[in-house]
């Protein structure tokens, strides 16, 4: 059986990037950090290759952290194992309407 892998780059990150195909709701995925530690998370929704999975519960209004930086804000409560993308986060970078 092929290991399904996601990488969490920074200790501050509350999301990890999925590096596997065929990730569907109910799949177990190994989330590895930069120290080589691994935790297994059950995926709650289909997640395409290269997209984000929540590694912790994220409250509405909280920052989405990737690479140790805020990349957006949760528009709704996001549960550990959820798909994190434009449907539940608001981008805060590169938006002319926020400047």
Cα gap 32→38, rounded to integer Å: 4
Average pLDDT value over all residues in the chain = 92
CATH at 54: 2.30.130.110
Which pairs with CB-CB distance under 8 Å and at least 24 residues apart come from 31-35?
Answer: 31/5, 31/6, 31/7, 31/55, 32/5, 32/6, 32/7, 32/8, 33/7, 33/8, 33/9, 34/8, 34/9, 34/10
Q: Does pLDDT of 24 surpass 90?
A: yes
Tally of domains within the chain = 1
pLDDT digits (tens, 9 = 90+) for 59-97: 999 999 999 999 999 999 999 999 999 999 998 766 555
Domain that holds residue 26: 5-98
Q: Using H for helix, E for strand and C for coil, what is the string for 7-44? A: EECCCCCCEEEECCCCECCCCEEEEEECCCCEEEEECC
């Amino acid at each position: 059986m092929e290991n399904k892998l996601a990488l969490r780059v920074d200790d501050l990150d509350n999301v990890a990037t999925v590096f596997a195909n065929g990730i569907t709701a109910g799949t177990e995925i190994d989330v590895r950090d930069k120290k080589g530690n691994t935790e297994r998370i059950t995926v709650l929704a289909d997640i395409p290759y290269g997209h984000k999975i929540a590694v912790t519960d994220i409250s509405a209004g909280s920052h989405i952290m990737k690479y140790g930086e805020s990349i957006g804000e949760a528009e709704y409560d996001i549960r550990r194992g959820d798909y994190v993308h434009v449907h539940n986060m608001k981008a805060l970078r590169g938006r002319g309407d926020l400047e």
